[in-house]
Structure 1
């Protein structure tokens, strides 16, 4: 029996025995309170001072000194810098151990076997910590990202057909059309603002106008409307500030029934904005049902978007459909917007690669108004290499947390129930063990091979010995279901913008910081100076 459980049983037994004596009521209450206090104190001593240092099987792993490392990781700048440093400097066999302020154990996964066990072999032995899930559900609902166990398997099975590669490729026309609209709007802003553009805002509008029609048949037209309420709501929730990081940390420590009652401005912001987004999703669902009833849509017409496919399947209640809509609306636009923004930044830092990419795009696509197919973009070696490097170096979610829900094994190490596991995307994606000494360098060429005729061709490994060297979209049963959708969006957006414009930073000396509570965004925004390159 767990010693902590034994202490609790002992306290209850003592209370029972006291209740059946002839002690006066006040004496009984005093004795009971004293007994419980002593046993709670013993549990505290056991859990904080004895078990973490002398009993846990994790104590033999390489262990960081101090108990503030969890906080240091959370407020790291950029998030993932410290775990990457630990991977480089601390000898280990796949796991590095550290403790938080309460001496609870955390493990950092560092090698192929550890990542394989967590994300594939023993996937359902690990879940997102409940308090973190409960907080995130305020924003995106209990959709596919936050569901666990049997519920997750059911939801993923129902949603997988919508994300078949055939369906994603059918969306290239929509993505390219919206990219064309973005190019027009950027030109207008350049004409009125001395070629200056703040790209992160435009990136968010573009991806919102793609995910709207693709996921729920609603065009938000945020590219044409700078006052778009949907875009403003996500900006208010996800704008990168240190206050939001602190807010996330508090919500990870406290139950929601306490955290939501704190007199904190961000509580009001999140409640207001998520109420609007949830109400909007309910309206879209009602409209969709009315359209089905009045027009008798065929199955093919109904399945033109993800919402229609979910409704056809009949696997979700109305509330569950709204949760899934919120999930895809948030994850499906903010993540790719972040990647596109960082892609523009990297290309300003490497003007030669930017020029080479423009030449490649123009050699394959005659003009920015030409129609394209998926093959036009998926087969371009340098475009593929640039997109892969963007996703590798600037993963939208730099780290994610898991908790073992039962005793399990990772990289040959027994991991007790309740252990927190840190999957640090930022660190894994740059780790020299996987990527060599230039793992932190932007080198699209690592994703390009040469065929027997000497032609450049796409490769999907980047020279790494395992596909677990890049975990931007995770792997296994919990891999991002929209990864192909995100890659297609990024290809279209970068091809259109680089094909038509040359980009540089407004201030070449500006230092860009990676921020954001959940996703990564440039804290300062992305202020570019753009020029149209004639002939396309």
Structure 2
């Protein structure tokens, strides 16, 4: 089987059909690389729960010029140190302080849709529209700046560059001859990538240094979060770690760039697929609407964490969206220590790909697997704990 010359969507189809043709374990050999593809929940548990085989697959190195070796890409002691530094940034109280940002940006998105409707826009390309608004949200929570409120050329260029880079990484990933750094750097795609990368790094570096000056002088006075408290960005928490000697400025740059990517891209993809599914299932839309009416009645008060906790059906809808369309459909690992996968030995130096997309569509785990049925997640869950892993699992699960 060859993937050469195929567009990304065709590569995806072929990879997801491997299980139908060859079973739950498939080995692909490419340029002397041996890549084991796994589709079964028991195998996935062994792989993702392994305490030492946490090194990301070779494909992740295509993002290294952009993200450095931040939390997404690093491994070993560096990954453990960064995880320890960043975990407090996802404490419940920190996330609670971001709720006002999420609400403001959600209202902005709705208002933008209303404006398009007034202008008579009948067809909207959802993915770039949603990506823009998710980028605004993560920019404010990660770096403490309002990207949507400032139309200066540098901010517009930054927004375009960060969206373009993600697309270029995917194009490289699915164009196998561009896996060579030498060929990629000579190729027009590689040259475009370098230009976009320079803009992204320059912008992020300037924001970090400006924020550092303000932080060092004690002048970090973000907008009030609605409760009389200052609103801290992820960058502020990283600067506090830098003050303690736990991370340097290059490390801060790595983590800011990492969270700018991870925080907007995955969320935008999930929301885009979610809108598609809701458009196709008006009865689900109606049930979400009724749940919101029961919680808010006719009140226009700001949303609270307790309000979110009452949205049981909406939570089930989100889970079902991520079951059908996980934002990261595959996870790659480069094996650094031999281990047994059932009756086979997986050797150091090989690669393993975990098929999240496929395991979440196994009919023995999810009856009518192609159907959009949020009620699956309202029922008692007796499935294998690794049958639903849209945020990965084990020691290297998604920090968010």
Q: Which residue is 1:429 aligned to?
A: 360
1:119 maps to 48
Deviation at 1:430, TM superposition (A): 1.2
C-alpha change, 1:297 and 1:174, in structure 2 (3 Å) is closer
User: Alignment partner for residue 209 of structure 2, among 273, 279, 286?
Assistant: 286
Q: Which runs of 5+ in 2 are unaligned?
A: 222-227
TM-superposition CA deviations, 1:279-323 (whole Å, max 9, x none): 11111111112112333559x988812111122123211111111
For 1:307 and 1:241, locate their aligned partners in 2 and report how far apart those are by CA, in whole Å.
25
In the TM superposition, 1:270-285 aligns within 5 A as 270-285=193-208
Q: CA RMSD in A?
A: 3.0
Change in 2 beyond 3 A, CA 1:266/1:432 = same
Deviation at 1:389, TM superposition (A): 1.2
Instruction: Give yes or no for the alignment of 1:343 onto 2:261.
Output: no
Partner of 1:455: none
Match of 2:257 among 303, 308, 326: 326
- Give 1:97 shift: 3.0
Total equivalences in the alignment? 390
Structure 1 portions without partners, runs of 5+: 1-67, 450-458, 483-536
The structure whose RCO (Cα within 8 Å, separation 6+) is larger is 2
Q: How many Å apart are 1:98 and its aligned residue?
A: 2.0
Indicate conservation of the 8 Å contact 1:208/1:222, yes or no: no
Aligned in 2, Cα 1:349/1:266: closer, same or farther, shift over 3 Å?
same
How far did residue 125 of structure 1 move? 2.3
Cα distance 1:268–1:163, how it changes in 2: closer, same or farther (>3 A)?
same
Change (3 A) 1:109 1:194: closer
Change (3 A) 1:261 1:274: closer
- Does structure 2 conserve the Cα–Cα contact (< 8 Å) formed by 1:143 and 1:320? yes
Q: 2:35 aligns to what?
A: 106
The alpha carbon displacement at 1:428 in A equals 1.6
Conserved? CA contact 1:135–1:251, under 8 Å: no
Equivalent in the alignment of 1:376? 307
Q: TM-score normalized by structure 2?
A: 0.87
Task: Give 3-state SS (helix, strand or coil) of 2:37's partner.
Answer: strand
> Which residue pairs with 1:364 in the alignment?
295
Secondary structure of 1:144's counterpart equals coil
* Contact 1:79 1:398 (C-alpha < 8 Å) held by counterparts: no
Q: Residues 275 and 225 (structure 1 numbering): CA distance in 2 closer, same or farther, change over 3 Å?
A: closer
Deviation per residue, 1:338-393 (Å, 9 max, x gap): 11111100111112211222222222224695311122123212211111111111
Largest Rg, 1 or 2: 1
Structure 1 residue aligned with 2:164: 236
Cα deviation for residue 464 of structure 1 reads 5.3
